[in-house]
Amino acid sequence: MTAAVLVVLGLAGCETRDKQQQLEQPGEVAPREIDRKKAERFSHTFWQAGEAHLIDARASVEALNRALETLLDKPSEDHLESAKLAWLDAHREFAGALPYIQLAFAPAELRDQGRELVLAMDSWPVQAGYLDTVPGYSESGIVNDTAVELTLANLRRQHRLTAHEEASTGFHALEIMLWGPTSERTAEEFQPADKGEEPEALAANRRRELTRLMGRALEEDLEGLVRRWPFKANDLSRHFLALEPAARLQQVRASHIRTVDEEILRRVPESSESDVESGRAADSKQAILAMLRTLQAAWVPTKGPGMAELLLDVRQQELLEQDFEALEELLVKMEDPIELAELGQLAKARELLEEMAGLMSGRKEVPASEEEMTPVSFTTGN
């Protein structure tokens, strides 16, 4: 072999080692080649699925407000139960839309808007005494504080004004109004009162108005989001479409990992001391399942290529699909409300979620199975 050839081979070897070292840097994942046409189709389909989901969420909130109007017009235990069921349906629809909302407000210039919107609609935990009478404090809450003017604008100003738990808008503030601070709400507490010179200042009437305004705030927030979403609005979608198709997938990936880390894991209690999202309505588990189903439909859909096929290797795809199925099966078996589940079940759920986040990121490597590694032997005849 000539010296010139040795030099060329040496340079090639150095270049190969340099590239290999770059790919093996801690925290970095070797980029996969992404099919541009598939990425283009998927990103459009996913955004439109978000629009459809938000329209469904808006419809469920409209149904909730109709149930609230019926309750306030004719208070009865049946109408109170109907309002609670409408709340449960609307909250689950909203939870299923959260992964889409995370994506829409992913650009740096929109993140504050997105955070403000989610906190306006889904802030928790909520301090019941900030809203209504609680045991030992008969004059507590906005219901009894006539200095707080009951208008929608003022209710928004009061929201989380001095503490995170002081929520005056959103699903979980409304949960307090429907289930009651001690989960013992009766329809009688929504009966209108007409005593005195200023009946509007009476706690019963303020409770009615506060409940109505909370429902209106939810509908107003969702209506604004639905209006901004479509491609033709050229609003939220403009930031998404400005990216190359492969970059759109990376943005979906990042927003889904945030959903797992910031929304789903937060709802799985680590201990009996953990905050619980829907302690009165016992809806935390169903909210988690709604979010998981949105993620599952994006990553391992029943039809067509999903995020897993476009971004992960085959072994990662298979394990992610197994994790989705295992987690849903585990959640379905858990006690409802979720805080009553066994600690071992909760720990397993958190373990699966953390593994799923690692798989979605592409950082978690899945070793080959024994079957894949077993060498194939060939026999030759004499």
Q: Which residues of the chain have pLDDT under 50?
A: 1-28, 382
Nearby residues of 217 by Cβ (< 8 Å), 6 or more positions away: 120, 152, 155, 156, 169, 170
The distance in angstroms from the start CA to the end CA of the chain is 40
Q: Phi first, then psi: what are they for 334, rounded to 5°?
A: -70, 155
SS3 call for 134: strand
Q: How far, in whole angstroms, is CA 177 from its chain's centroid?
A: 23
pLDDT of residue 32: 72
Give pLDDT tens digits for 136-162: 998 999 999 999 999 999 999 999 999
CA distance 166 to 375: 63
* Helix, strand, coil distribution of the chain in percent, nearest 5: 65, 0, 35
pLDDT of residue 192: 97
CA distance 45 to 140: 49
pTM score? 0.88
pLDDT of residue 274: 84
Q: Specify burial of residue 193 (Cβ count, 10 A radius: 0-12, 13-18, 19+).
A: middle
Give pLDDT tens digits for 246-286: 999 999 999 999 999 999 999 999 987 788 899 899 999 99
pLDDT of residue 376: 57
pLDDT of residue 17: 43
Q: Phi first, then psi: what are they for 137, rounded to 5°?
A: -135, 80
How confident is the prediction for the chain on average, in pLDDT?
91
Domain segments of the chain as ranges = 47-242, 244-362
Give pLDDT tens digits for 27-39: 445 567 899 999 9
pLDDT of residue 272: 73
